[in-house]
Amino acid sequence: MVIKVENLVKRYGDLVALDHLSLSVKEGEIFGLLGPNGSGKTTAINSILSLLQYDHGSIEIFGKPMTPEAYGIKRDIGVVMQNVAVYNELTVYDNIDYFCGLYVEGKEKRKKLVQEAIEFTGLQDFIGFYPKKLSGGLLRRLNIACGIAHKPKLIFLDEPTVAIDPQSRNKILEGIVELNRQGATIVYTSHYMEEVEQICTRIMILDKGRAIAQGTKDQLKDMITLGEKITVETSGITPEHIERLKRIPNVLSVEYNGVLVISSGKGQNNLEYVLEFFKKEGLEYGKIYSELPTLNDVFLEITGKELRD
- Going residue by residue through the chain, which has 309 residues, state the pLDDT in tens, using 9 for 90 and above: 999 999 999 999 999 999 999 999 999 999 999 888 888 999 999 999 999 999 999 999 999 999 999 999 999 999 998 889 999 999 999 999 999 999 999 999 999 999 999 999 999 999 999 999 999 999 999 999 999 999 999 999 998 988 888 888 898 999 999 999 999 999 999 888 889 999 999 999 999 999 999 999 999 999 999 999 999 999 989 999 999 999 999 999 999 998 999 999 998 889 999 999 999 999 999 999 999 999 889 988 887 766 554
Task: Name 254's bridge partners.
Answer: 262
- Which residues span the domain enclosing 204? 3-221
Q: Is residue 298 part of a domain?
A: no
Answer whether 0.85 is exceeded by the pTM. Answer: yes
**Residue burial 58-78, b: 16+ Cβ < 10 Å; e: rest:** ebbbbeeebeeebeebbebbb
Q: How many structural domains is the chain composed of?
A: 2
Residue 253 in domain: yes
| Any domain includes 305 | no
Residue 309 lies inside a defined structural domain of this protein? no
Q: Same domain for 52 and 137?
A: yes
Instruction: Note whether 201 and 232 are same-domain residues.
Output: no
Same domain, 271 and 194: no
Q: What pLDDT is recorded for position 306?
A: 61
User: Does residue 301 sit within a domain?
Assistant: no
pLDDT value for 293: 93
Can you give the CATH number for the domain in which 246 is found? 3.30.70.100
- Coil, strand or helix at 13: coil
Statement to judge: residues 139 and 288 lie in one domain: no
Question: In sequence order, what E strands does 71-225 have?
Answer: 77-80, 154-158, 185-190, 202-207, 210-215
Q: What is the C-alpha separation between 245 and 114, in angstroms, rounded?
A: 61
CATH number for the domain spanning 49: value is 3.40.50.300
216 belongs to a structural domain:
yes
Same domain, 248 and 188: no
Nearest 5 degrees, angle CA 132-CA 135-CA 138?
A: 100
Residue 120 sits in the same domain as residue 153: yes
In this structure, is residue 304 part of a structural domain? no
Residue 212 in domain: yes
Full strand arrangement of the beta sheet holding 226-234: 251-256, 259-265, 226-234, 285-291
